[in-house]
Structure 1
Amino acid sequence: MKPEKLKGKVAAVIGAGKSGVAAAGLLARAEAQPFVSEFGAVTPEAAKTLRQFGVPFEEGGHSERVFEATLCIVSPGIPQRVPVICEMHARAIPVVSEIELASWFCPARVIGITGTDGKTTTATLIHRICEAEGERQRFRAFSLGNIGVPFSSKVLDMAAADIAVLELSSYQLEGCFSFRPNIAVLTNVTPDHMDRYDGSIEAYAAAKFRIHAQQGSGDTLIYNHDDPILRAHFDRQEPWSFRVVRVGLRAETLDSAHGDYVSVAKGEIVIRTSGSTERLMRVDEIMKPGFRGDHNLYNVLSSVAAAFAAGVAPETMRLVLAAFGGVEHRQEFAGNACGIDWINDSKATNVNALLQALQSVPAGMVLIAGGRDKGNDYSVIADIVREKVACIVAIGESRQKIADAFDGIVNVLPAGSLREAVELARQHARPGASVLFSPACSSFDMFRDFEDRGRQFKQLVRELT
């Protein structure tokens, strides 16, 4: 939609979280007539911001007033099947996401990143690379979306030369219909949020694939060719109208087919484009304690592919990659206390993320896991848990499910709080071993979000020290 067509239009914003408030502010600045409706309570901070924008709002439920709108913007945490959204559809009121809304106003180049795992690390790397290049070329790079800052809150500050780096969840992409990133990155697809998608990996993947639905000539799609779901999707439907770049850990595998790729050959990252190959840098210049494992190498390869597609100079990539040490809450070294290494992997909110952490930490660890389960199947990690985990401390709503899943495989100790979990882990970890905090669940049963969860864990480790 053209932004000027929003002038004077009544728009319902469902949800008064960060994205909902930002969407309402953008609509107000576009001279639309937004109305925010929150099923729960509106926080004092959100209420203050909405009043500053002059946006009316309600809380404690959705009134008939929301259906007076000609457009509805839904917050990502609200499923499409809740009654208020079903009624919007029944009344033929268009329902879009905050990402879709902001894209109507965006003059900048857009790099969108989605996938089950690796979104935050990949988006962070791409942003830092583009930010460093921007200092040389005089443009700005914005880090937005699921990473924490709403797209709508910054889009009016952008210029055509700038780059918006958007981390995108499946929830955000559900409501995208005309959103067209110049560069799209798909890191992987493994089962996650199965509670939201009724156990259907196909429905979950379809939401992810919306990132390339509107791409066309002049756009670039980057995907992990080693991921079986992505490989089947993109190989089956060739040719595409956009440029496709594959990433993978073995260049000889990608060499067997025509096309561009970013991969590894003889310990070096290589970029293949238009039939020629450029060697960027050695892998061991990037991989280091605190940032290691194949999953992080995939993140690096995707970031290099995106930066190269955006025209970033190789020397800029080398400088940023060599200095990068990972992101907070993703296999982050939290310190050594009581002769034990403590690792904060609070960002691991699904089983595949936990699997990646288990692969990266030496055997003999104590694992702290649990939270609000999202339909997890723990059987897929049974073998590696048997091989590498000395015992599990289970927390949160899922602690009994975890105990049942690993019964007979490893000793599972229930804990009523994170503090108790840390103390139990300290008691059961042998000197020189590691304690891995990798929940494989969402945080909302006990914490504000995964960041709050991770910071509380690090504080408890500091108290041990």
Structure 2
Amino acid sequence: MILTGKKVVVLGAGRSGRAAATLALSKGAEVRVFDTNPSAHFDGWPEAAIGIAGATDAQGLETSCDVLVISPGIETRGSFVESFAKNAGELIGETELAARFYDGKVVGITGTNGKTTTTELVQRILEHSGMSCVSCGNYGVPFSEVLLMNEVPDSVALELSSFQLETVKDFHADVAIWLNFSADHMDRYTAIGDYFEAKKNIFINQSSNDTAVIRLGEDLGPLSATSFNFSSEGEASDFYLVENQIYFSGQPVIDLSVTRMRGLHNAENVMSAVAACYALGVSYEVAAEALRGFAPPMHRCELIRTLDGVEYLNDSKATNLHALDSALRSQSRPVVLLAGGKEKGLEYEELLARLEEKVHSAIVFGEIAQTLGSLFSKVVSTEVVAGLDEAVTLAQKRAHVGDVVLLSPGTSSFDQFAGYEARGEHFRKLVNKLK
């Protein structure tokens, strides 16, 4: 891609937008950045980038460019993007822009849940093997920022959301990981099929020389890449789990006891990462060494403390039904479940069988509390409270020795918190104050 002398417009003044603008400038483009937020600032940006805060659709219709680059948080089909696209030669996303300038190995990771943990695992294994690697994309730094490093790494562990995958064209992953799929972000997509097709773009441009790593049972249709599948349930997949041991084609390859990973869902994250790195030439022995002592990122079934024989787990990252279901499926102890938050239009009826199997007491809170209370009470003792503080206090009273108190909200946090991290940190503080 040649940008010298080309006019590039970037939509969004966040970190991804700044990385895209800086990369385009470094390639000789004339760059303007538009953001709808009147308070958007451009402090610390390259002087050559022209920034416009409080941008409108009308300005978009008056603006022409060779390349329009949109940040992942901006609605691709919204009127703001459409107004700028009308006089743009090409519309791409920040991920696509970076991909056109990157020559190293790309391990792309997508799925409704488990992306960040798997991304960290891939980076750790590749780094341990001697291949320089950076976590980027939807986790870590923007992909474009990697191209601006003093030493561009040999490989990237590239976490990809559906928002980023909506706008790829020439993007190519040497290895593409598909972890799982379930309904999410239905406040952005008009149909679940649109969400599915966006995520499936991770396989775009792959050939038989590439690798696809896919959870067993995911219906993706025919793919061009060489495929491996994995599952923690049964032994029908290429990679499978027996007790604490991961097997490949009947041979034990990874002992999970060397890690600090908990739950079946994390076993699947390890399987996918090991399979991806093996496709790039990393032996199972090296992968096992890399995984020694590895713990999942915060807010993902994270053990906060054990008090009076009760474990308190922070799974605040569970912002959709599949994540909540995975967390429950992974528990071997009776569960006191803390769930709730923002109303996202999800169908919670599909969780009832899992609740009946795993949960002896549910405490629901937040904007969606009444809805969850009416539904969950069909199969489990359920109490409705206003917020997380009251939920934790009540959970301590309901929990017995040998139980787990699991914060796994099943929806986003924006009704009461700035994000899942803030919700998880507040839970941590509350649990650590318990006596």
Instruction: Kindly report which structure 2 residues correspond to 1:260-279, keeping only aligned pairs within 5 A, or say none.
Output: 261-264=238-241, 268-272=245-249, 279=252
Q: How does 1:129-278 map to 2 (within 5 A)?
A: 129-134=125-130, 139-157=131-149, 162-198=154-190, 200-225=191-216, 227=217, 230=218, 232-234=219-221, 237=222, 240-249=223-232, 253-254=236-237, 261-264=238-241, 268-272=245-249
User: What amino acid sits opposite 1:243 in the alignment?
Assistant: T
Question: What's the counterpart of residue 77 of structure 2?
Answer: 81
Q: Deviations over 1:257-279 (max 9, x none)?
A: xxxx333469743345xxxx754
Which amino acid in the other structure matches residue 215 of structure 2?
A: N
Q: Is the 1:330–1:347 Cα contact (8 Å) retained in structure 2?
A: yes
**What 5-or-longer segments of structure 1 have no aligned partner?**
255-260
Residue 96 of structure 1: aligned partner? 92
CA distance in 1, matches of 2:270, 2:315: 19
Matches within 5 A, 1:37-436: 37-42=34-39, 47-50=42-45, 52-62=46-56, 64-66=58-60, 67-91=63-87, 93-134=89-130, 139-157=131-149, 162-198=154-190, 200-225=191-216, 227=217, 230=218, 232-234=219-221, 237=222, 240-249=223-232, 253-254=236-237, 261-264=238-241, 268-272=245-249, 279-286=252-259, 291-337=261-307, 340-362=310-332, 364-436=334-406
Which one-letter code corresponds to 1:302 in the other structure? Answer: S
Contact 1:88 1:94 in 2 (8 A): no
Deviating more after overlay: 441-450 vs 207-216: 441-450
| Per-residue deviation, 1:455 | 1.8
Q: Which moved more, 1:32-41 or 1:263-272?
A: 263-272
> SS of the residue aligned with 1:87?
helix
1:124 Cα deviation after fit? 1.1
- Out of 24, 27, 34, the position equivalent to 1:27 is 24
Match of 1:9 in 2: 6
Higher mean C-alpha displacement, 88-97 vs 345-354 = 88-97
Q: Deviations over 1:152-171 (max 9, x none)?
A: 11223376771111111111
SS at match of 1:102: helix
Which AA in structure 2 matches 1:247? F
Runs of 5+ consecutive residues of structure 2 not aligned to the other structure: none
CA distance in 2, matches of 1:207, 1:118: 17
Whichever residue aligns with residue 207 of structure 1, its letter is A
More helix by share: 1
Change (3 A) 1:250 1:398: closer
Q: Any conservation in 1 of the 2:10–2:34 contact (CA below 8 Å)?
A: yes
**Distance (whole Å) between structure 1 residues aligned to residue 312 and residue 93 of structure 2:** 38
Q: Secondary structure at the match of 2:433?
A: helix
Report the equivalent of 1:257.
none
How far did residue 185 of structure 1 move?
A: 0.6
Q: Deviations over 1:107-132 (max 9, x none)?
A: 22111000111111111111111111
Quick check: 2:231–2:241 contact (8 Å CA) kept in 1?
yes
Counterpart selection for 1:452 from 416, 422, 426: 422
Question: Residue 270 and residue 365 in structure 1: after superposition, are their counterparts in 2 closer, same or farther (change >3 A)?
Answer: closer
Determine the structure 1 residue equivalent to 2:433. 463
Q: Mean alpha-carbon deviation: is it higher for 98-107 or for 319-328?
A: 319-328
Change over 3 Å in CA distance of 1:306–1:78 after alignment to 2: same
CA–CA distance in structure 2, aligned partners of residues 381 and 460 of structure 1: 27
Deviations 1:9-33 (CA, angstroms, capped at 9, x unpaired): 2222222222122212222222222
Structure 1 position 461, deviation (Å): 1.8
Distance 1:142 1:33 in 2: 28
* Alpha-carbon distance, 1:252 to partner: 5.2
- Aligned partner of residue 94 in structure 1, secondary structure: strand
Tell me, yes or no, if the aligned pair for 2:265 and 2:327 is still in contact at 8 Å: no
Aligned sequence identity (%): 36
Structure-1-length-normalised TM-score: 0.85
Give the Å deviation of 1:90: 4.0
Distance 2:409 2:378 in 1: 20
- Given that 2:300 and 2:315 are in contact with CA atoms closer than 8 Å, whether structure 1 keeps it comes out as yes
Q: Secondary structure at the match of 1:142?
A: strand
1:337 Cα offset (Å): 4.0
Q: Displacement, 1:362? A: 4.5
CA separation of 1:357/1:41 partners in 2, compared to 1, >3 Å: closer, same or farther? farther
Q: Deviations over 1:179-207 (max 9, x none)?
A: 10111111111122222222x33221111
Aligned residues: 433
RMSD of aligned alpha carbons: 2.6
State how far apart, in whole Å, the 2-side matches of 1:406 and 1:266 are: 31
- Supply the distance in 1 between the matched residues of 2:67 and 2:11 (Cα, whole angstroms): 11
Equivalent residues of 2:65, 2:88 under 8 A apart? no
Deviations 1:405-447 (A, max 9, x none): 2243334434333333322323433454322111111223332
Q: Residues 359, 262 of structure 1: CA spacing in aligned structure 2 closer, same or farther, 3 A cutoff?
A: closer
- What is the CA distance between 1:452 and its match in structure 2? 2.3
**Alpha-carbon separation, structure 1, partners of 2:132 and 2:16:** 22
Of 242-251 and 12-21, the range deviating more from structure 2: 242-251
